[in-house]
Amino acid sequence: MENQDQSAEKSTLAFELIELKPDSYNHLELDNLVGELQRLLINAPVEKIGKHVSQIKRVFDTKLKEVQEKEKAVFLANGGNEIDFHFQSKSAKDFQELYREYRQKKEAFRVNFERQIQQNLLTKQEIIEEIKSLISTEENINTTFSQFRDLQTKWRETGPVPKTENDNLWANYHHHVERFYDFLDLNRELRDKDFKHNYDEKIKIVERAEALINEADFQQAYNELQQLHRIWKEELGPVSKEHRAGIWERFSNATKVMHDKRQEFQKKRDEEIQTRLTHKKELLEDFKREATTIANSHQGIQLQFKKLVSIRESFYQIEGVPYSLQKPLIAELKKQFGQFSKAKNDFYKNQKKEQKDRIAQKKELIAKAESLKDSDNYDETTPLFIALQKDWKAIGPVPRKIGDPLWKTFKTTCNHYFDRLHGNAKVSKQKQSPIDKVFNERSLLKKQMEQVIAEIRQLENNLEFFNSDDTSNPLIASVLKNIEKKKIELNKLQEQLKQLNVERNKLQREQDEAAAAEEQTAAEEEKSEN
């Protein structure tokens, strides 16, 4: 067990955190982000990696969402319904397990830290009591001083205490330390030696504090100043009375300058925070305006959803705002996004119900067509098939993966009947007059045109299930190509119809002229008979 602890300690000491920047992890892919989080958990103290983990999680969530949206786009392009879309990712599962481990370690550290600072408080209180007891001891002064030194070392090595107890505890400690030095007045040589040591060390601290005033990195300099104050208070004892006021004044003056600079620094930082907060508020208002009214089409909702996700990502990418200030904004953003998501899901639920109804209606039309396809009563059945085709067009679109097979079945059934009709027409062709033949050909041609128009409309409806207008998409390009092909076919049929109309008009004129001539001949014959 001891060897394991030593090994872990060595690993931790050898590990160095990268310098954290806003884009430190943006270049990593999902698997790499999982690996980086795992590396942090294995090698770094959990209390040191909070900001790193937060940034890794933000980048991971963003990139996972991008992958999810791409998968959804492919699913929808293949005729799927959004409400049926399910996305699974091994990387997401692994990341969630590691993030759960991080939260558990963080909580365990917090519990242990709370326990430890309470124990540190008790230890330091005991140290103060022991110093108090040294003042009344009758032991040799050298022995007593050695014990005092040991207690000072123990005080320094004992960790932090609760913040609420820190100031009073140190004031109590400092009071009894000075009392002990007064007690040392009985051994002036020993006391003066210690005073000189403390003076020399405090001079170093004062000189360093004065140098920090001109440091470029103020935040780092201020943090170092806090460390100097800690050493002054916790690691060094008093100096002789003639130096006490002067050395403290130098340290205090340097500290005051740093505090003034800190106020300037804080003012500038507060202004920057306010600017970022204002930007977050503006993004929230943009989000609310966009989310207030949901679009009434699949493509519109997808565009709306992408815009909302983009605004949300921009909102969270603005860092450096205390959580307490942006907490109500985050709550409102989540509320608005939740309301939009509910409305979006309701839309697709309704759409799914409507699609089920359309599918049922189309299946019913197929059943009717199947029951009529072998009828020999062409005069009654043909108008029924034409009505079935009109009803099919009026029903509206359904997902491609379901709609295409249904349309194929319906089209095959209709073709079966009209092929029989055309075959019968060929048999009776000899019995038909030329003009009757033209009328029959026009009727068949119109039916073909209606069928082609129905196919074009079905293909155009299928385009609505794509959430992109990118013609480079192979699926979209294929549908557009089929539409263009059907339009060319329709143009040819329309041209044939024009020719038949000309032929019909010609035959009608000839028929009318023949009838007129026949009437004239009959009249002349009747006249001659009289």
* Span 25-74, pLDDT tens digits: 888 888 999 998 999 888 888 888 888 898 889 888 888 888 888 887 77
What pLDDT score was predicted for residue 204?
Answer: 93
What pLDDT does residue 123 have?
92
* Per-residue confidence (pLDDT) for residue 100, from 0 to 100: 92
Query: So what's the pLDDT on residue 14?
Result: 39
Lowest average pLDDT, out of 309-318, 367-376, 414-423, 465-474, goes to 465-474
Residue type, 220: Q
Q: In this structure, is residue 100 part of a structural domain?
A: no
**CA–CA dist 404, 178 (Å, integer):** 93
Judged against a pLDDT cut of 60, whether residue 7 lies above it is answered with no
- List all residues 6 or more positions away from 343 whose beta carbon is below 8 Å from its beta carbon: 294
Q: Mean of the pLDDT values across residues 281-301?
A: 87
Domain hosting residue 451, numbered range: 361-529
Residue 230 domain flag: no
Give the pLDDT mean for 422-443. Answer: 66
**264 — pLDDT class (breaks 50, 70, 90):** confident
More confident site: 276 or 433 = 276
Contact 234, 170 (CB under 8 A): yes
pLDDT at residue 521, as a whole number: 60
Q: Is residue 366 part of a domain?
A: yes
Residue 405: inside a domain, yes or no?
A: yes
* pLDDT above 90: residue 367: yes
304 in any annotated domain: no
Mean predicted confidence (pLDDT) in 425-436: 59
Higher-pLDDT residue of 434 and 106 is 106
Whose tokens are 């931790």? That residue is: 12
Is the pLDDT at 126 greater than 90? The verdict is: yes
Percent residues over pLDDT 70 in the chain: 84
Q: Is residue 341 part of a domain?
A: no
At residue 235, the pLDDT reads 76
Q: 246-250, 473-477, 485-489: lowest mean pLDDT where?
A: 473-477
Q: Are 446 and 487 in contact (CB under 8 A)?
A: no
Mean pLDDT of 225-248: 84
Average pLDDT over residues 145-172: 86
Position 7, amino acid: S
Is residue 527 predicted with pLDDT exceeding 80? no
Q: What local confidence, expressed as pLDDT, does residue 279 receive? A: 93
Token couple for 248: 């403290």
> 8: pLDDT confidence band, cut at 50, 70 and 90?
very low
Which residue in the block uniquely carries the two structure tokens 């935040």?
Answer: 219
CB 423 within 8 A of CB 478: no
Per mean pLDDT, which range of 11-20, 153-162, 462-471 is the poorest? 11-20
**Is residue 93 scored above 80 in pLDDT?**
yes
Is the distance from CB of 17 to CB of 49 less than 8 angstroms?
A: yes
For residue 224, the one-letter residue type is E
Mean pLDDT of 358-375: 90
Average pLDDT over residues 204-218: 89
| pLDDT surpasses 60 at 425 | no
In 3D space, the residue among 235, 208, 238 whose CA is nearest the CA of residue 224 turns out to be 208
Domain contains 447: yes
Q: What is the mean pLDDT of the chain?
A: 81
Number of domains in the chain: 1
Say if CB 158 and CB 127 are below 8 A apart.
Answer: yes
What is the C-alpha to C-alpha distance for residues 426 and 420, in angstroms, rounded to an integer?
10
Query: What local confidence, expressed as pLDDT, does residue 12 receive?
Result: 38
Give percent of the chain with pLDDT exceeding 90.
Answer: 13
Average pLDDT for 121-133: 90
Which pLDDT value is given to residue 96? 92
Q: Does residue 330 have a pLDDT over 90? A: no
pLDDT interval class at 11 (50, 70, 90) = very low
pLDDT at position 525 over 70: no
Burial profile 351-372: b = 16 or more Cβ within 10 angstroms, e = fewer: beeebeebbebbeebbebbeeb
Residue 470 backbone zone (phi > 0: left; psi -120 to 50: alpha; other: beta): beta
Q: Is the pLDDT of residue 10 over 50?
A: no
This prediction's pTM: 0.46
- The reply to whether 507 falls in a domain is yes
Mean pLDDT of 188-202: 81
Structure confidence at residue 432 (pLDDT):
57
d(CA 335, CA 284): 11
Predicted confidence band of residue 342 (pLDDT cuts 50, 70, 90): confident
Residue 254 has pLDDT above 80, yes or no: yes
Query: Residue 371 in contact with residue 436, Cβ under 8 Å?
Result: no
pLDDT of residue 6: 39
Question: Would you state the torsion angle of the CA atoms of residues 191, 193, 195, 200, taken in this order, to the nearest 10 degrees?
Answer: -170
